[in-house]
Chain A
Amino acid sequence: MSRIAVRRATNAAMNILAALAALVVILPLVLILGFLIFRGSTALNVAFFVHLPTPVGEPGGGMANAITGSLTLIGLAAAGGVPLGILGGVYLAQSRDRRLPWLCRFLADVLNGVPSIVIGIFAYTLIVLPMRRFSALAGGVALGVIMLPIILRTTEELVRMVPASLQEAALALGLPQWKVVLHVVLPTARAGIITGVMVAVARIAGETAPLLFTAFGNRFWHRRLDEPIAALPLQIFSYAISPFDDWHRQAWAGALVLISLVLVMSLLARLATKGLYNRRGTYG
């Protein structure tokens, strides 16, 4: 065989291998989604989105309180985790000091590796015990703590990727450092930071363990943030381990809603930042 033919054959083989690898990577996601749609869609109807859960034996009912509960918890967690994470990430990327950022980075990586149930215990000790009640607030804090290191480290990486020449250009225009960060550095890194935030949201949306003894769950609507609150993962968990077929179907539907929620949020974030990706592309 001539040399060029060998190269062509190798190229073709590698192309096929790479395509196969890509397929294998997305296969689990496709299977999970397919299975969820298959099992979950039967219990999915309008009532599922607008009604409270019904008592055992009574057919119908929904998870409306768990859907709003999950959104509330994600909102609470993001209200603390997103600004703190982004500000901290900017600090880590821009500080001239060596020791404190090193320590922060190290601790953030440790925190990222702490099992989520331990973070639940932390929130329980910090908030539930002094308040003497389970609450949405405690759940939000637990999820926020899980979010924090993810956003912190992604922001740091992305701020570091902003070319130094842009910062110099802004400084040379006579802008103070904080305006340089706010108007030049963060907008340039925005698309990536939003992706990081969405990864963190996806991670906490499915967390169950830290909510068990913080948010606790609630079969009714919550009225205040210092009350126990329902959440989709908790509801799925309690329905899935119940002995009733009806509840099993609802648990499948809940899982489908949860995963769709995360998908829709990620898609919206992508669409909102699509233009920014393109502009970044033409710059480099």
Chain B
Amino acid sequence: MADGIRITRLNAWFGPRQVLRDIDLAVVPRSVTAIIGPSGCGKSTCVRCINRMHEVVPGARVAGRVELNGEDLYAPGADPVEVRRRIGMVFQKPNPFPTMSIFDNVAAGLRLAGVRNRAALHEAVERALHHAALWDEVKDELGKSGAGLSGGQQQRLCIARALAVEPEVLLMDEPCSALDPIATAKIEELIMELRKELTIVIVTHNMQQAARVSEWTAYFLLGELIEFGPTRGLFTSPRDSRTEDYVTGRFG
């Protein structure tokens, strides 16, 4: 049984346009895998296929296999809702629920999944906020709207919201691209902390970021996986000339 995420011959389309071609990728559990590549290369689509969010877009289609710990997430009986509960996601732009308080934002996943016990909710919210390194900043204003926080705090709130349901995998789709360098540094620190317990796949435009936080890196170009390997190796001695062009800044 293969642990972690195993992607086999994954193809994806938006309407008639094919955005992913025969992707094969194996993500090691409890590690950080970075996906890099120029805009439009399919890296976001690839992570959205992992938690079955790609199919949410009208006209979008997926073919191929994605396994989590040996289980096919696209098997006929697989429920996308269940898949998404096991695989959390953080988006490019912080998107806390505007009608909910900070507490309610973090509790949303559990509460709407049927958890009613107040003590359990409080404990889970506190743990998730600690995990997301936000607790000290918000512990006295849990009742306030999450929309009043700074961009970086909002993004950490979204991470806490995703962590509260205790996913096995956390997908991060350019989580720092809307943040300033200080907020980015905080999120990166957080990623280093989280990878001890979670499998993380992070899409990033920022090669330095990939080099800093990830153990494995995949380079995508025009919907194809060009190269995949240990981060250090991919950046210092790429096997493919296209990867070399990209990581040395000659292109993209």
Contact = CB atoms under 8 A, between A and B. Distances in A.
Contact of A174 (B58, B100, B109, B147): B109
Interface stretch (B21-29, B91-99, B199-207, B231-239): B91-99
Interface residues of B, number: 31
Contact of A166 (B51, B53, B83, B95): B95
B75 interface: no
A170 B165 CA distance: 12
A275 B82 CA distance: 35
A115 interface: no
B109 A173 contact: yes
A170 B82 contact: no
A184 B109 CA distance: 11
B56 interface: yes
Contacts of B148: 282
A175 B88 CA distance: 12
B156 interface: no
Contact of B84 (A173, A188, A190, A279): A173
A168 B112 contact: no
Given A171-B53, A174-B81, A183 B108 contact: yes
Nearest to A276: B99
Contacts of B53: 168, 171-172
Nearest to A182: B112
A34 interface: no
A273 to B, nearest CB: 11
A83 interface: no
Q: How large is the interface on A (under 10, 10 to 19, 20 to 34, 35 or more residues)?
A: 20 to 34
Contacts of B82: 174
Contacts of B145: 279, 282
Given A96-B58, A282-B145, A171 B99 contact: no
B112 A279 contact: no
A44 B112 CA distance: 52
11 contacts: A168-B91, A169-B91, A169-B96, A169-B158, A171-B56, A174-B82, A174-B83, A175-B81, A183-B112, A188-B98, A279-B99
* In the A-B complex, the 7 residue pairs with the closest CB atoms: A174-B85, A283-B98, A172-B89, A173-B109, A174-B84, A187-B99, A165-B95
Interface of B: 51, 53, 56, 58, 81-86, 88-89, 91, 93, 95-100, 108-109, 112-113, 145, 147-148, 158, 161-162, 165
Given A169-B91, A175-B81, 18 more contacts: A165-B91, A165-B93, A166-B95, A169-B97, A172-B51, A172-B89, A172-B162, A173-B84, A173-B108, A173-B165, A174-B113, A175-B112, A175-B113, A179-B112, A183-B112, A187-B100, A279-B98, A279-B99
